[in-house]
Amino acid sequence: MSQTTNTGARYAFDSSGPESFAQYARLERHLDQTTATRLAPPVLTAGMTCWEVGAGGGSIARLMSRIVGPSGLVIATDLDTSHMTRWDGVTELNNVTVMRHNVLNGPVKGGPFDLIHARLLLVHLPTPTEVLRELANALAPGGWLVIEEYEMTDPRSPLLAVPPGGDVALFDEVLAAIADELTRHGADLGWGRRVHQTMLAEGLLDVDSIVHRESWSGDPTGNMLYDINSRQLQPQMEAAGLPAKRLDEFRCMIRDPRFAALSYEFVSTRGRAPRKAEQS
C-alpha cells in the first residue's frame, strides 16, 4: 500500500510493492554517480554525522557509511525501511542506524548534522518549503544540505527516437498521466527548480545547482523508469480513464531498442549553513 503521511497526503508509490525493487535499482543506476559527485569533499568527509532522508534502497547511506568511516555516523530514515534491511544480507553497517521516520514529523534525533541529503523525497511532500527549512535548521554550523529532485514541468516531449509506426501521442499521453497521478498525490512537479531559491531564503551559503539528463533507450526487459512507473501507477491511471490496452501498447513501444527518450530532468542543489564565524 502507498503510505499515508500525517497531513493525509499519500506517497504515490507503493514502496513495499513488487515493482519497488525495480524502481529503487533503476533510480540508483540512473542517479548514484551524479549524487556521488555532488557529495564529493568537502561536502562529505570522514568523521561526519549524516542524515540520509527518505533513503529508499539505501545506496547513498552505504556511500556515506564508507566515507565517514568508523569515527562518523549515518542515520538513514524512511517511511518504509524494509529495502535497507535487505542490504546484501547485512542488516546494519556498524556506523549506520536505520530508522522508520516520517520527515513531516520534524527532524530525526541525533543532530545537528554535518550533511543532510534527500533525493526524490521533498517533491512528493505537501509542504516541501517547510520541510527544507526544518532540514536547514538541523544542520551543524558549516553543515551541508543536498536536495535532489526530478523536475517535471518541461512542456516539451522528451522523445528522441520512435520506431516505425510508434505512437508519439500515446507516449506523451502516458507521461502526462503519470505526472497527473503524482500531482493528485500532492507532488509539486516544479519544486526541483525552486530548491535553489528556497535554500538562499533560508540563509544557506555557497548554494549551487546542476541538472543531469540522459537518454534512455528502449529496454526489452521493462527496466526503463517510465515503464516501471507505468506499472506502479497502472491501477490509478486505469481508474482515471487510461485503458490497460493503451498502457500495454505504450510499454511495447518503449521496449523497442529503436525507441529513445530523455530521462526526467534531475536537479541537484546544495548549500551549507554559515560557520560560527560567518553567523551574524
Ligand X SMILES: C[S@@+](CC[C@H](N)C(=O)[O-])C[C@H]1O[C@@H](n2cnc3c(N)ncnc32)[C@H](O)[C@@H]1O
**Which range in 43-51, 101-109, 214-222, 266-274 contacts ligand X by CB under 6 A?**
101-109
Nearest to 3, CA basis, from 101, 91, 143, 94: 101
Q: Which residues pair with 145 in a beta bridge?
A: 116, 271
Name the 3-class secondary structure at 273: coil
Q: Is the dihedral of CA 227, 35, 81, 152 positive or negative?
A: negative
5 versus 253: smaller Cβ distance to ligand X: 5
Residues 6+ apart with CB under 8 A from 122: 128, 131, 132, 147, 149, 191, 195
Task: Give the C-alpha separation, 59 to 277, whole Å.
Answer: 34
C-alpha cell read off for 47: 568523521
Verify binding: residue 103, ligand X, rule CB under 6 A: yes
Verify binding: residue 179, ligand X, rule CB under 6 A: no
CB of 243 to ligand X, least distance (A): 27
Residue with cell 493503451: 246
Pick from 49, 65, 102, 268: which binds ligand X (CB under 6 A)?
Answer: 102
Q: What are phi and psi of 107, to 5 degrees?
A: -65, 150
Verify binding: residue 28, ligand X, rule CB under 6 A: yes
Verify binding: residue 11, ligand X, rule CB under 6 A: yes
Strand order in 159-161's β-sheet? 159-161, 260-262, 215-217
From residue 180, alpha-carbon distances to 49, 93, 233, 237, 242 in Å are 38, 39, 11, 9, 12
- Interaction residues for ligand X, span 42-61 (CB under 6 A): 54-57
Verify binding: residue 119, ligand X, rule CB under 6 A: yes
Verify binding: residue 121, ligand X, rule CB under 6 A: yes
Verify binding: residue 188, ligand X, rule CB under 6 A: no
Name the 3-class secondary structure at 33: helix
Pick from 5, 209, 268, 269: which binds ligand X (CB under 6 A)?
Answer: 5
From residue 171, alpha-carbon distances to 6, 7, 80, 230, 232 in Å are 35, 33, 31, 11, 16
131 versus 174: smaller Cβ distance to ligand X: 131
CB of 138 to ligand X, least distance (A): 14
Verify binding: residue 79, ligand X, rule CB under 6 A: yes
30 versus 193: smaller Cβ distance to ligand X: 30
Nearest to 102, CA basis, from 52, 51, 53: 53
CB of 211 to ligand X, least distance (A): 16
**Which range in 75-83, 87-95, 160-168, 251-259 contacts ligand X by CB under 6 A?**
75-83
Pick from 26, 38, 124, 196: which binds ligand X (CB under 6 A)?
Answer: 124
Pick from 104, 170, 189, 252: which binds ligand X (CB under 6 A)?
Answer: 104
C-alpha cell read off for 226: 517510465
The closest residue (CB) to ligand X is: 56
Q: Which residues pair with 117 in a beta bridge?
A: 52, 146
78 versus 151: smaller Cβ distance to ligand X: 78
Verify binding: residue 27, ligand X, rule CB under 6 A: yes
Q: Which stretches of the chain bind ligand X, using CB under 6 A?
A: 5, 11, 15, 24, 27-28, 54-57, 78-80, 102-104, 119-121, 124-125
